[in-house]
């Protein structure tokens, strides 16, 4: 089932205010036993499980501290899910958006709680998962990302969600700028990586809706391990090159024989017998979409660089004291590892 922890210090909600908000905005909710827990895995927006009697919901709000421009936009995330859920039911259904800062001092929204299991090492042990089940879950992930990329985003009114023209170049320049802004130390091969990326931007694929963080621990599987119940964490969703989305997915798809630079920096759930390889995932995707993957090395390097930038921003918040989550201390070394690995990938020219 979904995992929850006690709310971390400094990230508490005002329980009485939230309780009053729910009672005044939701019908048939009884003023009964009230629980607030926190989802432990998120490293960006703060996500809480709320239960009152039989009623359950999930609350999302921005993190504390200084935030990048246009990031953590609760209105955007809520509106996206409201439209997307109607055609892609793996996306959670949002219930209500609140922009009244007198409630939580920030915008937030509440959505449905999707029941299911986070796919991680603990689940694999609990379920004594077989190689065949791991492979099946791998194919479910392929099918889900293909289904998402097939959504007609214009038909559901999401054409203003992003600006696909010049997507790759714009994103690359933005991430280089962000890395420099939040840099805490010099990494020798960083210039090699950013110069290669600038010089190898491919012709972009026809734009689709992209999740932008489509990875195993953002998927929820049912008890039988045969079906996905949901995909979560849609805050970075936009309109853009679908191979960038695929590159992001495969950057997190660590294999058994991968470098320690990756294994020390990313989740390694897929680095065990049963899960398909990055190459198998890529070829399954191609067989279902027919997309040209001749420039896929660029997308994968860009994805590792994106992770490094994201981790660097979070580490900057940790170092400056705006978050005290101990998980973030390791990002100093993780960022360095990812940049070095990206440079090696460029030199070796293989995924």
Q: What is the pLDDT along the chain (351 residues), one digit of tens a residue?
A: 467 788 888 889 999 999 999 999 999 899 999 999 998 865 578 999 999 999 999 999 998 776 666 678 999 999 999 999 999 999 999 999 999 989 998 999 999 999 999 999 999 999 999 999 999 999 999 999 999 999 999 999 999 999 999 999 999 999 999 999 999 999 999 999 999 999 999 999 999 999 999 999 999 999 999 999 999 999 999 999 999 999 999 999 999 999 999 999 999 999 999 999 999 999 999 999 999 999 999 999 999 999 999 999 999 988 888 888 888 999 999 999 999 999 999 999 887
pLDDT score, position 105? 87
pLDDT score, position 18? 95
**Residue of 221, 127, 205 lying closest to 164 (CA atoms):** 205
* Cross-strand pairs, 59: 48, 110
User: Can you say whether the dihedral through the CA atoms of 310, 316, 321, 325 is positive or negative?
Assistant: positive
The residue behind tokens 């293909």 is 146
The residue behind tokens 């729910």 is 22
- Please compute Rg for the chain using Cα positions: 20
* Cross-strand pairs, 108: 98
Q: Is residue 142 a contact partner of residue 255, using CB atoms and an 8 Å limit?
A: no
Structure tokens at 157: 């009114």
- Domain chopping of the chain, boundaries: 15-111, 117-348
* Domain covering 117-348 assigned CATH 3.50.50.60 in the classification: no
Please state which CATH class domain 15-111 belongs to: alpha beta
């Amino acid at each position: 089932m979904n995992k929850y922890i006690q709310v971390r210090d400094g990230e508490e909600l005002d329980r009485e205010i939230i309780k009053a908000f729910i009672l005044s905005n939701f019908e048939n909710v009884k003023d009964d036993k009230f629980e607030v827990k926190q989802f432990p895995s998120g490293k960006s927006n703060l996500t809480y499980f709320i239960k009152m009697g039989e009623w359950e919901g999930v609350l999302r709000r921005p993190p504390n501290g200084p935030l990048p421009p246009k990031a953590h936009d609760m209105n955007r995330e809520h509106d996206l899910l409201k439209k997307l859920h109607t055609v892609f039911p793996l996306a959670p259904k949002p219930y209500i958006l609140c922009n009244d800062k007198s409630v939580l001092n920030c915008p937030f929204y509440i959505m449905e709680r999707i029941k299911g299991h986070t796919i991680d090492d603990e689940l694999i042990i609990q379920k004594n998962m077989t190689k065949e089940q791991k492979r099946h879950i791998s194919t479910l992930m392929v099918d889900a990302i293909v289904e998402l990329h097939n959504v007609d985003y214009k038909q559901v009114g999401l054409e203003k969600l992003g600006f696909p023209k010049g997507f790759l170049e714009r994103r690359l320049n933005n991430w280089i700028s962000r890395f420099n802004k939040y840099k805490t130390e010099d990494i020798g091969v960083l210039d090699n990586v950013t110069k290669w990326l600038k010089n190898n931007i491919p012709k972009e694929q026809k734009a689709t809706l992209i999740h932008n963080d489509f990875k195993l621990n953002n998927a929820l599987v049912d008890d039988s391990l045969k079906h996905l119940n949901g995909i979560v964490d849609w805050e970075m969703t936009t309109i853009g090159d679908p191979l960038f989305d695929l590159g992001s997915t495969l950057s997190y798809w660590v294999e058994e024989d991968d470098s320690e630079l990756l294994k020390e920096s990313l989740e390694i759930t897929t680095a065990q017998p049963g899960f398909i390889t990055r190459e198998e995932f890529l070829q399954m995707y191609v067989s279902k979409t027919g997309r040209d993957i001749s420039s896929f090395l660029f997308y994968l390097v860009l994805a590792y660089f994106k992770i490094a930038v994201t981790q660097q921003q979070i580490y900057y918040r940790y170092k400056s004291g705006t978050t005290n989550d101990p998980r973030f201390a390791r990002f100093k070394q993780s960022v360095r590892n990812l940049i070095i690995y990206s440079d090696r990938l460029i030199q070796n020219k293989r995924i």
